[in-house]
Amino acid sequence: MKLASNPLRALPALILMATLPVPSAAFDMNSDLPIRITADSARLDDNQGTAIYQGNVDVRQGEVQLTADRVDVFRGADGLDRIHARGRPATYDRPATPTEGPVHAEALEIHYSATRNLLRFEKEAVVEQGQDEFRGAVILYDTVNRIVTGEGRTDSGEGSGRVEMVIQPRGSNSSDGN
């Protein structure tokens, strides 16, 4: 990865990369808004289509927010390809929608794949929506089909081997954030 010798030379590319629209699948509330990224430092490799943000990273699109210690953004020919966030913990927050309650998620690693419409929360993962809660070593969320899958162990064998999901009855109004 190349480090620009003159930080100002990379500024236009950093601004472009930071304002790429996110597919509606992950940031579905404000899909036409640009991504805004702030951090203590940033490194862009335009040839590789990567940007690395470190230190108090804040990624926002409207009211949707991702925070982490480090965020790697990967761009393909069609725009945003994937995001990899790491933190102690990294967090993802999405406000309530007309049909779903707010979402708060934490994990040591959060991966977003634009092409697969998949959010992956890995290592000490917790996803809360209203009063519903999902815990496990890995939690996958298919943002198009609205399918949550939990795994008790990571690919490297980390985790207790168990997942926990607490899902409130439909009539309890718990998923609307009230």
| Average pLDDT, rounded, for the chain | 79
- How big is the CA angle at 16 (ends 14 and 21), to the nearest 5 degrees? 125
Nearest Cα to Cα of residue 73 among 95, 96, 57: 57
Task: Please check the confidence at residue 178 and state whether its pLDDT lies above 90.
Answer: no
Chain centroid offset of residue 164 CA: 21
pLDDT digits (tens, 9 = 90+) for 57-77: 999 988 889 999 999 999 888
- Kindly list the domain boundaries of the chain, sorted by start residue: 7-176
Buried b (16+ CB within 10 A) or exposed e, 105-134: bbbbbbbbbbeebbbbbbbbbbbbbbebeb
pLDDT above 90: residue 153:
no
pLDDT tens column, 28-48: 433 678 889 999 999 999 999
**132 near 175, Cβ under 8 Å?**
yes
What is the pLDDT confidence band of residue 172, given thresholds at 50, 70 and 90? low
Q: What is the CATH code of the structural domain delimited by 7-176?
A: 2.60.450.10
For residues 119 and 8, the model is more confident at: 119
Confidence of residue 15 (pLDDT cuts 50, 70, 90): very low
The reported pTM is 0.77
pLDDT confidence of residue 145: 83
